[in-house]
Amino acid sequence: MRIAAILPVLNEAARLEGLLLSLIEDQHFDELIVVDGGSTDASVETVCKFMSPEEPDTQPVPILIQSPRGRALQMHAGAQAAEADVLLFLHADSILPPGAADDIRDAVEGGRPWGRFDVRLSGRHFLFRVIERLMNWRSRFTGIATGDQAIFVRRDVYRMLGGYAPLPLMEDIEFSARLKWIGRPACLPGPVLASSRRWEKHGIIRTILVMWTLRFLYWLGVSPARLARWYYRHT
């Protein structure tokens, strides 16, 4: 069973080299697809360094594609380019746990069409421990996953559902809600280590209130486009 790791990136040069090294050396993915949304830093150059490895047998050699800016658009472009049986969507500021690829294979071969990992936030503040526990518990209870949790799905299921909708916000929540039509997710303990930079930049409590408000309004039916305009004005 082949797995493609898909990374949407935008100005992530500072983190990208370390992430690519970990995916190539520590994991066992069959495809590694980096989808750039128009970076103005050295992100593209960083990926290109890995595309001509000193050891030709190094696997996988990253594939770089360009896409219009927007995480949903970039992830969908990566999924369209992938040939593997399973697609894993990973944020550029997240680190997979050891053996993640093998855990995904075990879950899918065991009959689970999709899933996600538990998450751990990188910050040391005690509130991050509370937040990550609540995120993981909520996801297990509702069956809804967020992008920080490294969603994976069989490629045939992804295509059957039409993949990520071109939304400017809430794309992971919308997609995992449709995935629930197929079945509940495999909840792998992981955890994925996700960056807490957003929380630290804007304040932990403020970020919690903003995210809860956005999700509440989304479930009330407010359009993602309207929510995105409000979000980017306040962050």
Whether pTM > 0.85 for this model: the answer is yes
Q: Which contiguous run of DSSP H or E holds residue 230?
A: helix 224-234
143 within 8 A of 116, measured Cβ to Cβ: no
CA dist 217 and 226 (Å) reads: 10
Mean pLDDT across 201-214: 85
Q: Which contiguous run of DSSP H or E holds residue 24?
A: helix 13-26
CA atoms within 13 A on the CB side of 124: 0
DSSP reduced 3-state for 228: helix
Tell which residue, 32, 37, 29, has the closest CA to residue 9: 37
| Residue 234 banded pLDDT, cuts 50, 70, 90 | low
CA atoms within 13 A on the CB side of 49: 11
Return the biggest CA–CA distance within the chain. 53
pLDDT at 55: 61
